[in-house]
Each structure stands twice: as C-alpha cells, then as structure tokens.
Amino acid sequence: MYRSLLHSLKWSVFVISLCCLSHTVIAAEPESDDDFLFHDSHFHLTNYVQEGPSLSEFLKLMDGKVGRSMVCGIPLQQQWMYANTGDFAPTYYTQTDAPLYYYSFTDAIIAHEYLRLSPEERKRFDPMITGFNPTDMYAADHIRRVLMTFPGVFSGIGEFSIHKEFVSSKISGEVATLENKALDRILEFAAEVGLPVVLHCDVDTPFPRPDQDPYIVVKLKELADRHPETTIIWAHIGLGRVVRPVKDQLAMAERGLRERESKNIHFDISWDETAKYLVGKPEAIKATADLINRFPTRFLFGTDCVGPKTQDQYLEVYEMYQPLLAELTPESRHLLLKGNYERIFDQARRRVRAWEAKNVRRETTPPRD
C-alpha cells in the first residue's frame, strides 16, 4: 500500500512540474524590440562534432544586436577515422572522407542548455528538434518523444537536410528524398503540433548538365502541396557552396510565391555561401530585392552561423547583406529581419505549448495498480 502511495506521489509531482513549466513558457510571450538589428531564423549552437558555446555565452554574442534566435544542433556527427586523418580530428564534413552518422543526442544538448537559462533569458530562444534520420519511419516518433521528454522547450523542427552537396553521399544507409513516406510522416506530425519546419534541400545537383532541369523544385512544391497546413522554411533558397542558382531561379520562386497552394512555403536567405550569390552582382541585388519587396511576408533572415566564438564572426553574414537590405522598403526590411520571425515562432510557441498541455498530461497519468 505504502509503495503504491509513494508511486502515485512521484507521478503527481512529475505531472505538476510539467504543467508548471508549460504554463511558464506560455506566459513568456516576447515583445519586438526596435533596438535589435534582427532575429536569427537559422542558427546552430553546435558543429559537426557537437561542440560550441553555451547558450549563456551565445547571449553575450547577441548582446545589443540580436533580439531572438532559433537554436538547433547539427543532426549529424562527423566520424573521426584514424585510418583516414590520423591524429587530425576533423570538425567539418569537408575535412575528411570518413562518414557522417545521425546523432540524436543533439536534441538533449539543446534542451539542457535552454533549461539552464533563467525564465527571462529563455524568451530569447526558440529551440528546434533535429536529431533524427529523415528516412526513418520512426522519425516522427522521435520528435514526439522529444516533446514529451522536454515539454516547454522546443518550438520547431530543423534544420535537417534532404539533398545536400557533399553531405548526403557521406551518410550511410538509405538516401533521403522528398518523396520518402518518412518525410511525409514528419510533416504531418508538424502540422498536428504546430511546429514550423526548416528544411535544407539543394535546388540542384552540384555539377549539373547544362540541359538538366532541376527536378528538385518540382518535388519540393509537390511536398508542400501534400502538407498545406505545415509551415515550411526552405533554407538558403536551395543554394550551397557550389550549388549555384539555376537558370531563372528567382522567376521559379516567384511562380511558387504566387500560387495559392504554396502559401505555406517560406524562404530563408541565411548562410554566407548564399549571400555570395544574392549580393555578388548589382543585378542580383536588384532582382532579389524586387522579389522580397513584392512578397515581404515570405522571407526570413538568418545567419546559419555554426558555434561562433566572437560577435564579429556571428554578425558577418548580416554585414554581407547590407547592399540587399538597403534596396528593401522599410516594411519589407522589418518583416525580413524581425516581423516574419515573430509571426511564425510566436504562433509556434502557442500551438506547441497547447499541444503539450493536452498530451503530456494525458500520457503521464500514473498507471492503475
């Protein structure tokens, strides 16, 4: 009898703690602050060997410059293969031929860092779930499990990759595709909970034939059409280190933006490798600015910085985009840098906390003796 009472008491304390945490986060709605330059829609706290600053240290890099930030780990771990690099320990996927593998513990790292912050500091961050294999039909179950284990913490999913230059070929097992049923399960669950999804998918292959059509664009649109209730943020507009803009890419993006069925697709212009294309020439700056000015609610700014050590390093991508920002209308610039982030992630916080309040309570009810 006493053992049964003790068991029930432990479960009661656990459930009360979860409910209090969820209530605290719901009440912590941030306000826009015009003193900040931007909110960061794409940031990695850790690198490909899960190293990086603490969130407390990152707050110091944000100080006076950045209001809020999504924060995620890297879903892949770079193997240190002695036969390939000897005593040299690679920290990036281009430094070795050794394979990459999915690293689920990255989500626990992010949650641990977030929970170490004060309630006021937590308002500045929107943690994201990334530690899953997008070809695994159990990936959606992993995301659900993370939410159940760390209620009140996460706001979205990503960044995770489908097609990525020099990365996809290094991951053993099934190759991720936009038509994989496992990806459909992820996006279905994201819609149920209210989790925005940051998806990396190269617009083309690294070295395509001149007459080769970018079939990935068609498949990405089909994916978005299959999941109209899921907010999809296409990272870097599909560009990469050597994946250049395809012919008429901005025109293709505009067609997608005009189609009513694709209203759930957003674009982020994060990464210095993306900036080199969008601000590399005056005509590119003008064309990109014109597109953002016509569809200002569909673009977000992010740094895609990975584990920065200094504020100058962290703000480098923002400085690269100054020529583009100068060509935007005041409204478009505000929405790109802050407004769209606040709209998407404020809604995500409300919806995810509501889902947790309903489901965590139900699934943590103590069993009957």
Structure tokens at 369: 């003796």
Going across the sheet that includes 197-200, the strands are 38-40, 66-71, 125-129, 156-161, 197-200, 232-234, 265-268, 299-300
Q: Would you give the distance in Å from CA 44 to the centre of its chain? A: 9
**Cα–Cα nearest to 121, from 156, 75, 71, 159:** 71
Neighbour-count burial of 35, counting CB atoms closer than 10 A to its CB (0-12 exposed, 13-18 middle, 19+ buried): exposed
CB 72 within 8 A of CB 47: no
CB atoms within 10 A of CB 201: 22
In angstroms, rounded to a whole number, what is the distance separating the alpha carbons of residues 67 and 69? 7
Instruction: Reply yes or no: is the peptide bond before residue 342 cis, omega within 30 of 0.
Output: no
Give the single-character DSSP code of 339.
I
Q: How confident is the model at residue 301 (pLDDT cuts 50, 70, 90)?
A: very high
Query: Is the confidence at residue 44, as pLDDT, over 90?
Result: yes
Pick the CATH number of 36-356 from 3.30.365.10, 3.20.20.140, 3.40.50.1000, 3.40.50.2000: 3.20.20.140
Cross-strand partners of 126: 70
CB 28 within 8 A of CB 119: yes
Query: Is the confidence at residue 33, as pLDDT, over 80?
Result: no
Residues 6+ apart with CB under 8 A from 45: 52, 53, 55, 58, 71, 72, 73, 109, 110, 113, 307
294 vs 245: which has the higher pLDDT: 294
Residues 6+ apart with CB under 8 A from 50: 73, 74, 77, 103, 105, 106, 109
**Cα–Cα nearest to 295, from 325, 336, 342, 238:** 336
CB atoms within 10 A of CB 146: 23
What letters, b where the CB count within 10 A reaches 16 and e where it falls short, cover 147-164? beebbbbbbbbbbbbbbb
DSSP string, 268-304: E--SHHHHHHHSSSHHHHHHHHHHHHHSGGGEE----
In angstroms, rounded to a whole number, what is the distance separating the alpha carbons of residues 93 and 271? 16
Task: Give the tens place of pLDDT for each residue, 187-236.
Answer: 999 999 999 999 998 876 555 555 555 667 778 888 999 999 999 999 98
Report pTM: 0.84
Task: Give the tens place of pLDDT for each residue, 87-99.
Answer: 999 999 999 999 9
CB atoms within 10 A of CB 330: 7
The secondary element (H helix, E strand) that includes residue 71 is strand 66-71
Phi, psi of 83, rounded to the nearest 5 degrees? -65, -20
Task: Give the tens place of pLDDT for each residue, 243-262.
Answer: 545 556 666 666 666 666 56
Query: Which residue's entry shows tokens 């560009």?
Result: 239
Task: Give the tens place of pLDDT for each residue, 99-132.
Answer: 999 999 999 999 999 999 999 999 999 999 999 9
Q: How confident is the model at residue 164 (pLDDT cuts 50, 70, 90)?
A: confident
